[in-house]
Amino acid sequence: MKKTLVTLLLCSAFAAPALAADAGTTYGAIDLGTWSLDTSSDPNSFPNTGAMAFSVGHRFTPNMAVEGGLVIAGQSTLSNFLGSLNYQQSAFKLAAVGSLPLSSSFSLFGKLGLAFVRGHLTGTSLFAASDSATSTTNLLIGFGAQVELSQNVALRLQVEGLGKSTYDPSLEVGKATVSTLGVTFTF
C-alpha cells in the first residue's frame, strides 16, 4: 500500500508540469460522415444514413484529452409489402482520448469511453410497434488520424464503434459505427 502511494505521488509530481503547460487547452469539433449498422444476421436491415457530430474536448497534456459530444444520424427507412418503418438514431458520447504524434503536424489517436445510444422507431407495419424508443449504454472504442492545418485548426478522420443500437429492449438491431471527417478548432 505504501509503495503504491509513493508511486502515485511521484507520478503526480512529474506529471504536474506537463499538466500545467497544457492546462486550459479546449477544442471543439464538427464531424460529418455515415452512421452504419452491422446487421449481418438480417438481410432486410435498415440502410446506412448520414451522421453529424458536435464535440467539445479538453486536452490535459499533448497526449491525453477527454471529449464529449452528440452524434445525430439521419432517418433510415425500411419499406416492404408489409409497411414502412423509419428508424432515427442518436448518441451522446464521453471518452478519454490518447494521441500519438508522428510529426509536428500529424498524429494518430484512440478513444475509449461510453456511448449512450438512442433508437426511435416509427411507422406502419404488421410486425413492429408504430412508435417505440429505447436507449442503451455501450462501450465506445474509436481511432483516427489528425492533421494540424494551423495552430488552432486541424482536420481529422475517425471511426467510432458505439455498440448496439435498438428500438426494442428484447431486439438488437445491430452494432452502430460512425465514420466521419471533421474539423477541430482550438480556443
Can you spell out the DSSP letters for 20-53?
Answer: HHHTTEEEEEEEEEEEEEE-TT-SSPPPPEEEEE
pLDDT of residue 43: 54
Please report, for residues 71, 95, 132, 166, the alpha-carbon distance to residue 89 in angstroms, rounded to integers and kept in the order given.
9, 19, 12, 9
- Between residues 84 and 3, the one the model is more confident about: 84
pLDDT of residue 44: 59
- The model's pLDDT over 115-126, given as tens digits with 9 standing for 90+, comes to 999 888 787 766
pLDDT of residue 127: 57
pLDDT band at 26; cut points 50, 70, 90: very high
Q: How many CB atoms lie within 10 A of CB 80?
A: 9
* pLDDT tops 60 at residue 169: no
pLDDT of residue 20: 38
The domain made up of 23-186 has a fold known as Porin (2.40.160)
What is the pTM for the complete model shown? 0.78
* pLDDT tops 50 at residue 16: no
